[in-house]
Amino acid sequence: MTLAVRYTSARTLDTAPSAASEPGPGEVELAPAYVGICGTDLHIFHGDMDARVHTPAVLGHEMSGRVVRVGPDVEGWQPGDAVTVMPLRWDGTCHACRAGHQHICQHLDFIGIDSPGAMQQRWTVPAATLVRLPGTLPLDQAALVEPTAVAVHDVGRAAVKEGEKVVVVGGGPVGILIALVARAAGAEVRVVELNAHRRLLAEELGLATWDPAAADITELVHQWTGEAGADVAFEVSGAAGGVETAVDVLGVRGRLCLVAIHPRPREVNLHRFFWRELTLVGARLYDRSDFERAVALVADGTIPAQRLLTKIVPLTEAPAAFEALESGGDVMKILVDCTDDTQGATA
């Protein structure tokens, strides 16, 4: 019998015994090592997704681990292989899938939300979801591959090019990752973030930051770009003010990439879209090429994953970790250690 972290009702998590299921045809059993807590997990914790999540629900989709057992008809994988999981299961028959957009399948099973996730000591998933990790990549750092894949997809959707000026509104984990991926693509990047701790971390990673409470961001962009405006803005804050800023900083034919999940409709200055011929693109999830690129970026140090890890806690302390993340403050990324429920460590 193994342990799992389960969401049972709004603001209530527990750790409970969980029986590992035998991997069936095309499936593998994994031993998750580290699982990240992300913003979507917090939405679930708050009860905001109760219409979608079936309780008790095992959470977690940012993970790294190793193969334990393989089911019938599984080729190319064996016990001990280091892996992460692209947590998407699509039907292959809907219009989106037939058009080649399986990652936004109209009947998508997002594993860790719609079906049991990785925050447990044994986890059975389709072999098709596995993504191989290099043996030299530490598994704690590898847990950041999934959010890095989000950033890779976002930067791709915005078609960021070398030499472009990019503004990232929101300096949380995904915002910082987007800034790092955009910089790796050759862009000049500025991160807009209220939280002083997050700004300091971004600056330690070589990213320039602006505090919207201390200066007029639109004026700073005008000075930075010679009044041309930014080529691309990413809205990662999830706040109404963030949307306004992301629109206002764009120059003619600028592109706004919407990354954050906004819980309610927002007002948008459509006149500016008309006047400057702006483009708005949505960015949701990722495909396999995004994941493979993310593995490479984490493995070669382009993404300094270790610097983004605030804390690693044992599985039994996961409920308290959710509360720590909820408070914001000096927390960036917390991982849950599923390999040992007796020891915790600070990264």
Q: What is the per-residue pLDDT across 233-264, written as a single tens digit (0 to 9) for each?
A: 999 999 999 999 999 999 999 999 999 999 89
Q: What is the mean pLDDT of residues 31-55?
A: 95
- Kindly tell me if the per-residue pLDDT of 74 is higher than 90: yes
- Catalytic residues, by residue number, are 40, 43
pLDDT for the residue numbered 37? 97
Task: Tell me the C-alpha distance between 154 and 11, whole Å.
Answer: 30
Q: What pLDDT is recorded for position 107?
A: 98
Q: How confident is the model at residue 340 (pLDDT cuts 50, 70, 90)?
A: low
Question: What is the pLDDT, as a whole number, of residue 346?
Answer: 36
Residue 329 has pLDDT above 90, yes or no: no
| Count of alpha carbons within 13 angstroms of residue 199, beta-carbon side | 14
pLDDT range class, residue 342, cuts 50, 70, 90 = very low
Least Cα distance to 20 among 90, 69, 57 occurs for 69
For residue range 160-201, list pLDDT tens digits in order: 999 999 999 999 999 999 999 999 999 999 999 999 999 999
How confident is the model over 76-90, as a mean pLDDT? 98
